[in-house]
Each structure stands twice: as structure tokens, then as C-alpha cells.
């Protein structure tokens, strides 16, 4: 779609406003809107100014002026605004140099795609994330110098089987028994369907939706795979739509990886493959029907996995899910079919076009542009250096003896560990200027000062149960 096409679309849809969306460094959409009368072809070249110092992880106040440049290919009608509003996703540029802003996550994704092509290895990387999330009915939380608590509630929560609901009809999924039950146990079929239908309105192809394993409204909606940048855009629309549809139903959604104690957390398995000239490159005669290139790609992911955790599992809460011995695949191994491995080779179809890998440790709190780009760079490093992924692990990893398990490396156990790994292992991200040293340093500094340290300094409620009477 060209700028001229965008103006034509705005007239066809009788748009009253134009909304400009862009992503902050951490991974939350920002936006501002202008009357449609302000929309012109010049905006797609000249851009619109804003204060970059007010965006997390971006500019200092003495150099705060930035520009958004809308991408005409992203034009759709926003499905939630009361007045017809045309939505455009934007890139960020420096107003003086007119260069793409290095801390703009979308720019990093674009550079990753360009780097792939420059290597000659392939011309497109496809990604298919499977984000999980919780649909709650109530959430309250507060933290002060003399208190700290959170309170979650869901009409589906198994803890509510004895609550007065006048009447309480039961049918609440037990812990770890929420996977695929039909209604009335699955009370959220209709809300998930509405989420799917709205996603289709903005051009997202949906493959399936279902209840997930945990009690209290855990859900999953799967999108059809797409190229790295386009899937980064779609993941942002996905989160925006899921949250706003939930609000229509007077419910709330979180992509927080581990909001509930004692039940499964929310992961985001990421399917990925590389193609060239319209042909898949991961299909071959090796283990699991994989090519040598694909196995080297796996080797790169496994080698750099602990550094990848800093982008794929970017919060302190991520590591409440990545705990040894529980449901998350923290052991850095690969296997066909085995879902306890951190990298799985799906065996659903013999078609070469379906051959892909599934990286299972990421979670949906991540910034998709950064996580996808980082995984691609790790995989390409594996291909370029012919990194051997080692022997596959086809046993149940959770059933291994301590001696056997000691030979299997594991993912980072905390955000601090992940950031330390990133500090020591990030050269692969700097190739092609995809991630700059400034981006790496700023990410580590922000995550330590704004997230890891504040959590480390605060007592948590269970510590009072353990230690108050000491």
C-alpha cells in the first residue's frame, strides 16, 4: 500500500481521525491521534514530531525531539474507536540526521531481516508465536513501605468452588486441568471467538483458539506464521485486541508469565524457519527430517540461549515460570515431538514446507521485535559457524537421573543471570549493526535499575509466613 492508497482508504472508510502507533523500548504500544484533515502524503516522508524523552529507555531531555514516520503498508481501521479511525504503525527517526533510531524495536527487526538477506543464507525468516494469556475478572495490587499485596479473581478460578455466587454453578477447571474442556467448564469460548474475529478484521489469519492448562481463564489464540517484521506488528495488534475485547466483556487480560501460584504459567512457543527463493531450508534428511542448516540453526539458539533469555524472558516474573522441575522447558536440549525439550521439532506434517523448529522457553511478556530478531541472529550465528547442537534428547527430561540431568545445560534462573549472560555473550547480536552496543547497554541498564533491583529490594508476602516469627 502506498501513501496515496492510504489516503484513498481513509476516504472509503470515512475516517475521522488517524492514529499513529509505535513501540517503546520495553515493548508497550504508544500512540497519538490527529484529525484526518491533517493526513497527507507528505507525512509519510516528513513525519510528525514528539518528545522522545518521555518514552521509556529512549532519549535524554536535552536531545528529546524525535519523528514518527508512518509505514503505509500497516494501514487498517482501528476496531475499537467510537469514531472511525485509521491506524498506522510507525518507524522512529532522528529529526536532524534523518537516520532510523537505533533503539526503535521495529528498526531492529527491519535490520535483522536485511542482515539475513545480506548473508545469502536465506531471504525470509518466518515466525509463528503462540502467546498464552489469562482472562481475569478482577485484579488488585499495591506496594508501599509498610504493605505489599496482589489479589486476582476469576469466575473460573478453582478456589471459588465454595463462593456464594447465587447460584454457584461449579464447572471451574481444576489446577492443570484446563486444557481443552468443552463448555460449561470452558466459560470463555465466546470471548475468545470475538477476539479471533476482531483479529481477522485487521488482517491477522487465525489458526485456532482454545482454553489453556491453568485454571482461572488461561487462553491461547494461534496466528498463522508470517515474516519477522510482519509478525512483530501482528503480535502488537494481538495484545491490543485481546485486552480491548476483554474490556468490552468487563474482564481484564494479562500476558504476565506467572500470575498464579501453583498452576501453569503463560509461555509463548515460537515456531521459526528460513526460506530462500520460495523454498524451505529447514527440511532435509537429518534428525527429525531436518537439514544440516536447520540443525546448525538449533545449535546457535542453544549456544546463546541464556543471553536470549534477556530478550525472550525479559522480566523478573519470567523466572517464576522458568523453574527446574516444573512445566517450563528450562533444559537446553532439542528433540522431535518431546515437549519437555527447550527446542522441539514438530512432527505434525511430512511436508517440507511445514518443517520448522519450535523454541519453547520464550514468554509473552517479551518485546516481539527484539525477541524474534535476537533468535534469528543466534540461529544465523549457528549456521555461519556450523555449531553442532549435540545429540538430541528424546527421553522425558523430567524423568532423568540427577547424573544425567547434570549434563544438560539450563536456561537462566533469574533476570540477573540472563543480563549477566547477555553482557558476556552479545557479539552475535552486533553483526550487521542489527543490535548496537548502545541498545545492549541500555537494555541491561534499564532492566537492572527499573526492574531487577526494585523487586530485589522489596519483601514479598510469603516471606512473612516464613520468617516473621524468627
Catalytic residues: 51, 130, 132, 212, 220, 269, 339, 358, 360
Beta bridge mates, 407? none
Residues 59 and 130: their CA atoms lie apart, in Å, by 33
Cell triple for 353: 514446507
Cell triple for 169: 454453578
Peptide bond into 377 cis (omega under 30): no
Residues 391 and 254: their CA atoms lie apart, in Å, by 37
Q: What is the CA radius of gyration of the chain?
A: 23
Provide the CA 92 distance to its chain's centre, in angstroms: 21
Work out the number of other CB atoms within 10 angstroms of the CB of residue 95. Answer: 12
Residues 132 and 23: their CA atoms lie apart, in Å, by 21
Phi, psi of 90 (to 5 degrees): -120, 155
* For helices 228-248 and 105-119, angle between their N-to-C axes, nearest 10 degrees: 150
Residues 229 and 125: their CA atoms lie apart, in Å, by 9
Amino acid at each position: 500500500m502506498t501513501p496515496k492508497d492510504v489516503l484513498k482508504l481513509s476516504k472509503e472508510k470515512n475516517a475521522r481521525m488517524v492514529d499513529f502507533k509505535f513501540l517503546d523500548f520495553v515493548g508497550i504500544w504508544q500512540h497519538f491521534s490527529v484529525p484526518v484533515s491533517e493526513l497527507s502524503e507528505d507525512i509519510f516522508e516528513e513525519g510528525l514530531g514528539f518528545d522522545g524523552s518521555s518514552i521509556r529507555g529512549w532519549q535524554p531531555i536535552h536531545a528529546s525531539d524525535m519523528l514518527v514516520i508512518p509505514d503505509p503498508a500497516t494501514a487498517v481501521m482501528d476496531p475499537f474507536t467510537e469514531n472511525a479511525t485509521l491506524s498506522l504503525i510507525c518507524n522512529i527517526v532522528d529529526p536532524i540526521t534523518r537516520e532510523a533510531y537505533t533503539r526503535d524495536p521495529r528498526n531492529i527487526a527491519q535490520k535483522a531481516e536485511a542482515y539475513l538477506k545480506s548473508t545469502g543464507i536465506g531471504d525470509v525468516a518466518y515466525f509463528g508465536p503462540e502467546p498464552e494469556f489469562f482472562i481475569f475478572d478482577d485484579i488488585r495490587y499495591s506496594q508501599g513501605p509498610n504493605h505489599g499485596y496482589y489479589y486476582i479473581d476469576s469466575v473460573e478460578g478453582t478456589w471459588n468452588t465454595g463462593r456464594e455466587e447465587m447460584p454457584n454453578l461449579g464447572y471451574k477447571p481444576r489446577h492443570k486441568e484446563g486444557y481443552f474442556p468443552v463448555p460449561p467448564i470452558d466459560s470463555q469460548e465466546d470471548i475468545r471467538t470475538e477476539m479471533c474475529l476482531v483479529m481477522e478484521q485487521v488482517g491477522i489469519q487465525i489458526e485456532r483458539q482454545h482454553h489453556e492448562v491453568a485454571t482461572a481463564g488461561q487462553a491461547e489464540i494461534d496466528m498463522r506464521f508470517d515474516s519477522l517484521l510482519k509478525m512483530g506488528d501482528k503480535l502488537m495488534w494481538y495484545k491490543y485486541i485481546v485486552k480491548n475485547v476483554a474490556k468490552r466483556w468487563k474482564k481484564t487480560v494479562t500476558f504476565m508469565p506467572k500470575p498464579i501460584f501453583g498452576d501453569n504459567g503463560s509461555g509463548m512457543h515460537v515456531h521459526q524457519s528460513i526460506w530462500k527463493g520460495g523454498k524451505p531450508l529447514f527440511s532435509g534428511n537429518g534428525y527429525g527430517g531436518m537439514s544440516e542448516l536447520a540443525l546448525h540453526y538449533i545449535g546457535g539458539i542453544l549456544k546463546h540461549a541464556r543471553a536470549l533469555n534477556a530478550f525472550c524472558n525479559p522480566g523478573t516474573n519470567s523466572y517464576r515460570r522458568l523453574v527446574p522441575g516444573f512445566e517450563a522447558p528450562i533444559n537446553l536440549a532439542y528433540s522431535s515431538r518431546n515437549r519437555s525439550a527447550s527446542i522441539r521439532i514438530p512432527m505434525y506434517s511430512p511436508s517440507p514446507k511445514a518443517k520448522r523448529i519450535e523454541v519453547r522457553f520464550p514468554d509473552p511478556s517479551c518485546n516481539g521485535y527484539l525477541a524474534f530478531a535476537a533468535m534469528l541472529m543466534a540461529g544465523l550465528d549457528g549456521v555461519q559457524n556450523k555449531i553442532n547442537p549435540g545429540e538430541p534428547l528424546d527421553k522425558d527430561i523430567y524423568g532423568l537421573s540427577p547424573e544425567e540431568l547434570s549434563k544438560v545445560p539450563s536456561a537462566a534462573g533469574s533476570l540477573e543471570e540472563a543480563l549477566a549472560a547477555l553482557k558476556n555473550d552479545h557479539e552475535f547480536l552486533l553483526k550487521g549493526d542489527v543490535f548496537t552496543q548502545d541498545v545492549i547497554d541500555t537494555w541491561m541498564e534499564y532492566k537492572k535499575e527499573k526492574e531487577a533491583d526494585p523487586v530485589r529490594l522489596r519483601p514479598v508476602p510469603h516471606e512473612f509466613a516464613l520468617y516473621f516469627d524468627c
